[in-house]
């Protein structure tokens, strides 16, 4: 059984991350908040329960590598890094602003960020290279890469998928924030990936499909890596875009739209965050 | 020249365990010794240049030196965004090596030519852009590339390029080499077209025109001093490159002169016209066809001096 306190800490962290993302995108009048809310639970479990990282030593050589390929959701990672002590929380107030510390897409100039992305399809090849180097050097750290649905449209992602399987990189785990809503439409109307799990199995990855908002399922899956020795692991985490804010959930509009003053107050109230 | 490159790289890799080759299914007959000597540092990504570049970047981010290697524009244009966002933005220690710079793969056609690379690569921050002219420069450039911390674009030749330098050279990135000295005019070249420039300079000397001949092997960072000295001391500069006239080495030299106020120097650029090369033939023949033959260079210098 999962310790109730740990479950509670995930819930609290995810709530803080969601609140930060709403405030940051509101202040910056910037987009992608739906993508951030979608992966908040995954990030909470990763940073509190799974990743071996050290906020006092962000470049600790034996750290697990976490590459966010969906760089447009970077504010959610900034939020979890600030909450876990990688940099002062005040930096979050400067997101997207002139002379700000934090850019709209994730940047390696920020402590705790492994790699900068923003254009989709870049994260996985780089993560594969990191897994290659770790294995060649006999290192025990692991490499994680978080992808979006849009990432899985990119040919470069599939090139890397094929290569990672060919070389049996079982130190590599992909997590897909599978919310099924892209920039211009829902996946079934853009590029349908189903049967998604079977595609990856055919590409010789070990696949698990879970509810990406269920802390027990997320933690259990990520505590049993690799899923199959000798294969890279693919965690298809079914999520809801805009999760936690009723009028955003499962909408295409929340990919770009930020909240106004009134909506911010309403959204924070729905999340049960003190204002 | 590609054999020189591979032989030299292999010898350095014997001593430097950080060196990885990350390929995209190109290099038959050349890369096998490396693959056999270092099977755990040799990876073929298949025909997948974007993954090759991204994976190389990931390998380099972990403290290694990753070399990507392919024909002409394959490891640059297909994966340009990976070079820009992954390699250059992170200042990753990736060395992008092309075989067959310019029109070296002549009759194979435009898909196998690299004639926009200098313009595009030199626009990327952090990237050193180097184009050796002969075996001596090629050999030295491999050492300089490995010694340099950060990304390098290495525009290699192909097979049997003749020597441009007669004796030993002191090769350093960003420091142009004077092949022969002269006071009447300066010919600045980059890459293997240098041999035509050398023949042209010899012919001009026989006609009484003493040219300074400069190998600008490093297009970026550019050797401003060499250009400004040539401008002041010879008063006339002709640039020669096997590259589209847009934005290449000649453009880079013009930028240096413009930033210096022009200096009243007479100038002329010899480069490929801004057209798709569609004639079929060897590199030498194509050079003649598109205005980069020895007579073209001789004529350009004479016309410039005639004013």
- Residues B77-103 have a mean pLDDT of 98
- Closest to B306 (Cα-Cα) out of B251, B268, B257: B268
Q: Where in chain B is the domain with CATH 3.40.50.920?
A: 177-306
In the numeric block, which tokens belong to residue A270?
């729905």
CB-count burial class (<10 Å; 0-12, 13-18, 19+) for B265? middle
Using N-to-C axis directions, what is the helix angle for A74-83 and A4-28, rounded to 10°?
130
The confidence score (pLDDT) of residue B56 equals 98
> Residues B106, B111, B114, B115: is their CA dihedral positive or negative?
positive
CATH 3.40.50.970 fits B2-155, yes or no: yes
Decide if A159 and B62 are in contact by the 8 Å CB cutoff. Answer: no
* Token pair listed for B199: 């023949």
Please name the residue that has the structure tokens 């698990």.
A208
Please check whether residue A127 touches B, CB under 8 A: yes
| CB proximity B285 to A under 8 Å | no
- Beta-bridge mates of residue A237: A177, A210
Q: Which of A61, A62, A129 to mutate to test the interface with B (most CBs of B within 10 A)?
A: A129
Interchain CB distance below 8 Å, B86 and A119: no
Q: Which residues belong to CATH 3.40.50.970 in chain B?
A: 2-155
Q: Is the pLDDT of residue B71 over 50?
A: yes
pLDDT at B263 over 90: no
A174 vs B contacts (CB less than 8 Å): none
How far from A256 is each of A248, A264, B239, CA to CA, in Å? 11, 15, 49
| Predicted local distance difference test score (pLDDT) of residue A258 | 84
Find out whether A219 and A50 touch, Cβ atoms under 8 Å.
Answer: yes
How many angstroms from the chain centroid is the CA of residue B6? 16
In contact, A145 and A69? CB cutoff 8 Å? yes
Mean pLDDT of the residues in chain A: 96
* pLDDT tens digit sequence for A114-169: 999 999 999 999 999 999 999 999 999 999 999 999 999 999 999 999 999 999 99
User: Are B59 and A130 an interchain contact pair (Cβ–Cβ within 8 Å)?
Assistant: yes
- Phi and psi at B95, nearest 5°, equal -115, 115
State both tokens at A217: 């399922």
pLDDT bin (cut points 50, 70, 90) of residue B96 is very high
CA dihedral A46, A47, A50, A54 (to 10 degrees): 150
- Mean pLDDT value of segment B166-173: 96
Q: Name which of B45, B58, B81 to mutate to probe chain A: the one with the most chain A Cβ atoms within 10 A of its Cβ.
A: B58
Does 3.40.630.30 match the CATH number of domain B177-306? no
**Min Cα–Cα distance to chain A from B9, Å:** 20
Question: How many CB atoms within 10 Å of residue B153?
Answer: 28
Q: pLDDT tens across B34-47, in order?
A: 999 999 999 999 99
CB-CB neighbors (< 8 A) of B20 in chain A: 133, 136
- Residue for token digits 């510390």? A101
**B13's tokens:** 């890799």
Distance CA(B68)–CA(B35), nearest Å, equals: 14
> Closest by alpha carbon to B289, among B251, B250, B242, B248?
B242
**Site from A125, A140, A165 to mutate, B interface, most B CB atoms within 10 angstroms:** A125
pLDDT tens sequence across A65-77: 999 999 999 999 9
The crossing angle, in degrees rounded to 10, of helices A33-45 and A4-28 is 150
A230 interface with B at CB cutoff 8 Å: no
Alpha-carbon distance of B155 to A244, in angstroms, equals 53
How far apart (Å, rounded) are the C-alpha atoms in residues B278 and B296?
A: 20
Question: pLDDT tens digit string along A188-230?
Answer: 999 999 999 999 999 999 999 999 999 999 999 999 999 999 9
Taking CB atoms and an 8 Å cutoff, what residues of chain A touch B56? 129
What are the boundaries of each domain within chain A?
4-270
Report chain B's mean pLDDT, rounded to a whole number.
97
Task: Note the pLDDT of residue B269.
Answer: 98
CA A96 to chain centre: 19
Q: What is the pLDDT of residue A12?
A: 97
- Six-digit token string for B221: 């960072």
Measured between CA atoms, how close is B11 to chain A, in angstroms? 21
Instruction: Tell the CATH superfamily of the A4-270 domain.
Output: Thiamin diphosphate (ThDP)-binding fold, Pyr/PP domains (3.40.50.970)
ipTM over 0.90: yes
User: Alpha-carbon distance A93 to A42, whole Å?
Assistant: 23
CA dist B303 and A152 (Å) reads: 58
Best of B18, B51, B79, B94 to disrupt the A interface by mutation (most A CBs within 10 Å)? B51
Question: Which percentage of chain B shows pLDDT scores above 70?
Answer: 100
What phi and psi values does residue A121 have, to the nearest 5 degrees? 90, 5
Query: Which residue from B minimizes the CA distance to A158?
Result: B51
Q: What is the pLDDT of residue A3?
A: 84
| Residue pLDDT, tens place only, B175-187 | 999 999 999 999 9
Q: Are strands B94-99 and B152-155 parallel, antiparallel or unpaired?
A: parallel
- What does the H/E/C string look like for chain B? CHHHHHHHHHHHHHHCCCEEEEECCCCCCCCHHHHHHCHHHEEECCCCHHHHHHHHHHHHHCCCEEEEEEECCCCCCCCHHHHHHHHHCCCCCEEEEEECCECCCHHHCHHHCECCHHHHHHCCCCCEEECCCCHHHHHHHHHHHHHCCCCEEEECCCCCCCCCCCCCCCCECCECEEEECCCCEEEEECCCCHHHHHHHHHHHHHCCCCEEEEECCEEECCCHHHHHHHHHHHCEEEEEEEEECCCCHHHHHHHHHHHCCCCCCEEEEEEECCCCCCCCCCHHHHHHHCCCCHHHHHHHHHHHHHC
Q: Which residues 6+ apart lie within 8 Å of B225 measured at CB?
A: none
Among all residues of chain B, which has the CA nearest to that of A130? Answer: B58
Question: What are the φ and ψ backbone dihedral angles of A197, each rounded to 5 degrees?
Answer: -60, -40
| Predicted confidence band of residue A1 (pLDDT cuts 50, 70, 90) | very low
- A228-244 confidence digits (pLDDT tens): 999 999 999 999 999 99
Closest CA of chain A from B298, distance in Å: 47
- B116 vs B156: CA distance, rounded Å: 14
Asked if A116 has any chain B CB less than 8 Å from its own CB, the reply is yes
Quote the minimal CA–CA distance from A170 to chain B in Å: 16
The H or E element containing residue A133 is helix A123-136
pLDDT at A2: 65
B184-207: average pLDDT: 98
Q: Which residue of A has its CA nearest to B61?
A: A130
Nearest-CB residue to B57 (from A119, A121, A129)? A129
Query: CA-to-CA distance for B214 and B194, rounded, in angstroms?
Result: 9
Spatial contact of B275 and B136, defined as CB atoms under 8 Å apart: no
């Amino acid at each position: 059984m999962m310790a109730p306190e740990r479950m509670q800490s995930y819930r609290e962290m995810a709530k803080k991350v969601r609140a930060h993302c709403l405030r940051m995108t509101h202040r910056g009048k910037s987009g992608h908040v739906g993508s951030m809310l979608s992966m908040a639970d995954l990030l909470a479990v990763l940073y509190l329960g799974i990743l071996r990282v050290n906020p006092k030593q962000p470049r600790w050589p034996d750290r697990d590598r976490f590459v966010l390929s969906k760089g447009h959701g970077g504010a959610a990672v900034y939020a979890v890094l600030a909450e876990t002590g990688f940099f002062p929380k005040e930096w979050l107030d400067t997101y997207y602003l002139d002379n700000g510390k934090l850019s709209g897409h994730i940047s390696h100039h920020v402590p705790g960020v492994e790699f900068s992305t923003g254009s989709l399809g870049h994260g996985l090849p780089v993560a594969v290279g990191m897994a290659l180097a770790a294995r060649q050097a006999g290192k025990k750290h692991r490499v994680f890469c978080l992808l979006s649905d849009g990432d899985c449209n990119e040919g470069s992602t599939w090139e890397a998928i094929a290569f990672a399987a060919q070389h049996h990189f079982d130190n590599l785990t992909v997590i897909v924030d599978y919310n099924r809503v892209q920039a211009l439409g829902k996946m079934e109307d853009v590029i349908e990936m189903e049967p998604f799990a079977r595609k990856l199995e055919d590409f010789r990855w070990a696949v698990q499909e879970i509810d990406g908002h269920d802390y027990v399922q997320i933690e259990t899956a990520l505590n049993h890596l690799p899923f199959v020795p000798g294969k890279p692991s693919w965690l298809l985490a079914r999520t809801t875009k805009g999760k936690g804010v009723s009028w955003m959930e499962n909408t295409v509009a929340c990919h770009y739209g930020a909240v106004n003053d009134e909506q911010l107050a309403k959204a924070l109230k729905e999340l049960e965050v003190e204002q | 020249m590609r054999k020189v490159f591979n032989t030299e790289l292999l010898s350095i890799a014997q001593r430097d365990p950080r060196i990885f080759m990350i390929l995209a299914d190109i290099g038959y007959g050349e890369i096998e010794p490396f693959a056999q000597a270092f099977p755990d540092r040799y990876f073929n990504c298949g025909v997948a240049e974007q993954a090759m570049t991204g994976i190389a970047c990931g390998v380099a981010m972990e403290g290694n030196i990753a070399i990507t290697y392919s024909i002409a524009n394959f490891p640059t244009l297909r994966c340009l965004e990976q070079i820009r966002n992954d390699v250059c933005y992170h200042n990753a220690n990736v060395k992008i090596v092309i075989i067959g710079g310019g029109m070296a793969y002549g009759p194979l056609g435009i898909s196998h030519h690299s004639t926009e690379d200098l313009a595009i690569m030199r626009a990327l921050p952090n990237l050193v852009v180097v184009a050796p002219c002969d075996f001596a420069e090629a050999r030295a450039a491999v050492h300089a590339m490995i010694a340099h911390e950060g990304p390098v674009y290495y525009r290699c030749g192909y097979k049997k390029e003749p020597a441009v330098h007669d004796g030993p050279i002191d090769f350093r990135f960003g420091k142009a080499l004077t092949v022969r000295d002269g006071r009447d005019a300066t010919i600045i070249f980059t890459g293997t077209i240098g041999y035509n420039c050398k023949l042209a300079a010899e012919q001009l000397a026989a006609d009484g025109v003493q040219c300074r001949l400069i190998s600008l092997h490093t297009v970026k960072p550019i050797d401003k001093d060499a250009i400004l000295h040539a401008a002041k001391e010879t008063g006339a500069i002709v640039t020669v490159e096997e590259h589209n006239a847009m934005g290449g080495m000649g453009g880079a030299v013009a930028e240096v002169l413009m930033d210096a106020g022009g200096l009243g120097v007479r100038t002329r650029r010899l480069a490929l016209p801004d057209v798709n090369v569609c004639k079929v033939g060897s590199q030498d023949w194509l050079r003649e066809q598109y205005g980069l033959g020895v007579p073209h260079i001789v004529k350009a210098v004479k016309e410039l001096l005639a004013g």
